[in-house]
């Protein structure tokens, strides 16, 4: 994967830096240009720049020196972008505070009251094959590295809380069987729809709202300060995904998808139903009791998960309602 084309001065700064040798760049802090006058969740320039910074901690880029991951100049840029992204996340949600022992119940309340745009219903009953293909392209940004952002939390937990997270992650990684890894199941769905299943292939085609979903998880996962938010976001995802995945699978079957094409969604209907109780009680509930000062972080992560996903869904449904593709043109700039 190569560094994607920039979408503004911030992503131009980041892409310009990583194309140099890190040994030739001073550790002196770099000035970060101002953001566009839009909410961070919809800021093409900010989200792409942050995604590039984060990707250096995953699989990296062809032609980019691995030394950039922790180069002081780029870390300083990333920290400033994270500050802006965190402010944007706080603007999207209402911070909930409850007693630590009631965290599982509050997660259940958030899941029940979630009334985001009916994306899953649309894909189940009305989407064209091309619209479903677009949806899969968007999701490939995360699903081709599914579970990886949450795995950063494993060494930051201990005891039964760590065991609960590992139980969930083991399923995500196919219980040690490569062909059962959820990322591999998603690749099969992509191939069935005639899409390129190469990691990162479609990043240049997806908008800020899609990158924001991935960046939210990476921000929580890569910062130990936000480990509570990381598991909170994971929990709410598990608690709200069984029904949508059933609808995605049924929608793909309606469009001619076979058992191989729909296996990714069918697998999540069952797996996420099992994970729901583990995530809300054994993971988040136990964490909140062990770390009562971090209980609010758990709920913040959950609320952010719902809010950012809602922004993503609004973007897709709004574009389709206007008979417009949800994908950016190649080399699109902000």
Quick one: pLDDT band at residue 332, thresholds 50, 70, 90? very low
Per-domain residue ranges of the chain: 9-91, 97-321
pLDDT at residue 270 in the model: 79
Compute the distance between CA of residue 173 and CA of residue 179 in angstroms, rounded to an integer.
9
Quick one: pLDDT band at residue 35, thresholds 50, 70, 90? very high
Mean pLDDT of 174-186: 96
Element (H, E) at 174: none
Compute the distance between CA of residue 53 and CA of residue 35 in angstroms, rounded to an integer.
16
pLDDT at residue 233 in the model: 98
pTM for the whole structure: 0.96
Compute the distance between CA of residue 171 and CA of residue 182 in angstroms, rounded to an integer.
8
> Tokens 């964490």 identify what position?
287
> Tokens 């985001």 identify what position?
116
Tokens of 30: 């770099």
**97-321 maps to CATH 1.10.1040.10:** no
> Quick check: 285 and 103 in contact, CB under 8 A?
yes
Instruction: Give residue-wise pLDDT tens across range 242-275.
Output: 999 999 999 999 999 999 999 999 999 977 778 8
Rg (CA), the chain: 19
> Quick check: 192 and 257 in contact, CB under 8 A?
yes
Residue 58: phi and psi, rounded to 5, are -110, -105
Quick one: pLDDT band at residue 334, thresholds 50, 70, 90? very low
End-to-end CA distance of the chain: 22
Mean pLDDT of 72-88: 98
Longest dimension (CA), the chain: 56
Q: Above 80 in pLDDT, residue 278?
A: yes
> Quick check: 96 and 105 in contact, CB under 8 A?
no
Mean pLDDT of 91-106: 92
């Amino acid at each position: 994967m190569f560094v994607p084309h920039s979408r503004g001065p911030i992503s131009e700064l980041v892409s310009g830096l990583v194309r140099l040798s890190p040994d030739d760049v001073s550790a002196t802090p770099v000035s970060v240009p101002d953001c566009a006058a839009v909410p961070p969740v919809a800021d093409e320039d900010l989200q792409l720049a942050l995604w590039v910074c984060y990707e250096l901690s995953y699989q990296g880029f062809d032609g980019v020196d691995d030394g950039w991951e922790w180069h002081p100049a780029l870390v300083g840029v990333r920290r400033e972008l994270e500050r802006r992204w965190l402010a944007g996340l706080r603007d999207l949600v209402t911070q909930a505070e409850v007693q630590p022992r009631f965290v599982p119940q509050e997660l259940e309340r958030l899941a029940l009251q979630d009334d985001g745009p009916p994306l899953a219903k649309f894909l189940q009953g009305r989407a064209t094959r091309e619209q479903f293909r677009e949806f899969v392209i968007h999701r490939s940004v995360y699903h081709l590295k599914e579970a990886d952002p949450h795995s950063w939390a494993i060494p930051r937990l201990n005891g039964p809380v760590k065991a609960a997270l590992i139980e969930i992650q083991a399923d995500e990684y196919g219980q040690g069987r490569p062909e059962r890894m959820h990322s591999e199941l998603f690749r099969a769905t992509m191939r069935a729809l005639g899409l390129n299943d190469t990691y990162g292939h479609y990043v240049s085609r997806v908008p800020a709202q899609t990158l924001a979903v991935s960046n939210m998880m990476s921000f929580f996962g890569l910062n130990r300060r936000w480990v509570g938010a990381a598991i909170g976001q994971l929990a709410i995802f598990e608690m709200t995904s069984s029904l949508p995945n059933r609808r995605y699978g049924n929608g793909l079957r309606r469009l001619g998808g076979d058992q191989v094409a729909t296996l990714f969604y069918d697998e999540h209907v069952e797996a996420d139903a099992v994970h729901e109780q583990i995530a809300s009680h054994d993971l988040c509930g136990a964490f909140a009791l062990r770390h009562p000062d971090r209980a609010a972080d758990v709920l913040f992560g959950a609320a952010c998960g719902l809010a950012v996903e809602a922004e993503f869904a609004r973007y897709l449904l709004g574009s389709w309602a206007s008979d417009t593709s949800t994908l950016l043109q190649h080399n699109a700039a902000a």
